[in-house]
């Protein structure tokens, strides 16, 4: 077992990381028909409230418009968080780098999408990140993040 992982196990706390990809910081500002009228701040609040209710000791909600920054954050999660909820946004459909990073850290991960991607364009039907996730939540709006955190908490309790 890697040193960072050993230290983490000794801490006996449960920490979650929520990762959001490009343009999700624009929530509530444009395209309300698809992504709703609630803002990114509301999304952060939903994650913090859900994490508290589910017994997580902490949750970080991270957003970046840059693929490499998302890869970096996933790598940094190794040994410091217990599980990941990820909405890679447009990178869902393009990024093998994010898939590889998720596989590299091998943390339990849940894929979440605000919209029902399965009912949208053909180019949204492939999900690379999803190949490294044990569950997927789509089409539940921002509450989907609370659902995804619940699935993660259940997985970690096993
Ligand atoms: O439904 C989702 O959560 C998506 O991950 C959102 C991505 C899209 O590329 C995925 O196919 C599905 C787009 C995020 C863009 O977010 C915006 C928010 C407000 C205004 C404009 C874009």
What CATH number did the domain enclosing 54 receive?
A: 3.40.50.9100
What range does the domain containing 96 cover?
A: 3-7+21-157
**With a 6 A CB cut-off, is 127 part of the ligand 1 pocket?**
no
Which of 114, 116, 128, 137 maximizes ligand 1 atoms within 8 Å of its Cβ, making it the mutation to test the pocket?
114
User: Would you say 105 and 129 are in contact if contact means Cβ atoms under 8 Å apart?
Assistant: no
Picking from 85, 68, 70, the residue whose alpha carbon sits closest to that of residue 149 is: 85
Exposure on the CB side of residue 91, measured as CA atoms within 13 A = 27
Taking CA atoms, 17 is separated from 14, 30, 34, in Å, by: 10, 26, 25
Give catalytic status of residue 128 as yes or no. Answer: no
pLDDT tens for the chain, 158 residues: list them: 676 665 555 567 899 999 999 999 999 987 788 888 999 999 999 999 999 999 999 999 999 999 999 999 999 999 999 999 999 999 999 999 999 999 999 999 999 999 999 999 999 999 999 999 999 999 999 999 999 999 999 999 99
Give the model's pLDDT for residue 31: 79
Q: Where are the alpha helices (DSSP H) in 86-142?
A: 96-105
Which residue's alpha carbon is at the smallest distance from atom 13 of ligand 1?
Answer: 89
Q: Is residue 106 part of a domain?
A: yes
| Total-model pTM | 0.95
Q: Is residue 12 part of a domain?
A: no
**With a 6 A CB cut-off, is 30 part of the ligand 1 pocket?**
yes
The Cα 95–Cα 132 span in angstroms is 12
Give the model's pLDDT for residue 1: 63
Tokens 């920490």 sit at which residue?
15
Give the model's pLDDT for residue 106: 98
Q: Is residue 119 part of a domain?
A: yes
Number of domains comprising the chain:
1
User: Would you say 137 and 147 are in contact if contact means Cβ atoms under 8 Å apart?
Assistant: yes
**With a 6 A CB cut-off, is 118 part of the ligand 1 pocket?**
no
């Amino acid at each position: 077992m890697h040193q960072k992982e050993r230290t983490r196990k000794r801490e006996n706390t449960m920490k979650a990381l929520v990762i959001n990809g490009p343009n999700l910081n624009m929530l509530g500002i444009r395209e309300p028909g698809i992504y709703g009228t609630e803002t990114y701040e509301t999304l952060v609040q939903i994650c913090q409230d859900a994490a508290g209710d589910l017994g997580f000791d902490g949750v970080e909600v991270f957003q970046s418009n840059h693929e490499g920054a998302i890869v970096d954050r996933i790598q940094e999660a190794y040994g410091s968080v217990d599980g990941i909820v990820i909405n890679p946004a447009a990178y869902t459909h393009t990024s093998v780098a994010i898939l590889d990073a998720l596989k590299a850290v091998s943390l339990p991960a849940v894929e979440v999408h605000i919209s029902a991607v399965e009912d949208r364009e053909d180019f949204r039907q492939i999900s690379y990140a999803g190949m490294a996730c044990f569950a997927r939540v789509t089409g539940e709006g921002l509450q989907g993040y609370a659902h995804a955190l619940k699935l993660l908490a259940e997985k970690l309790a096993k």
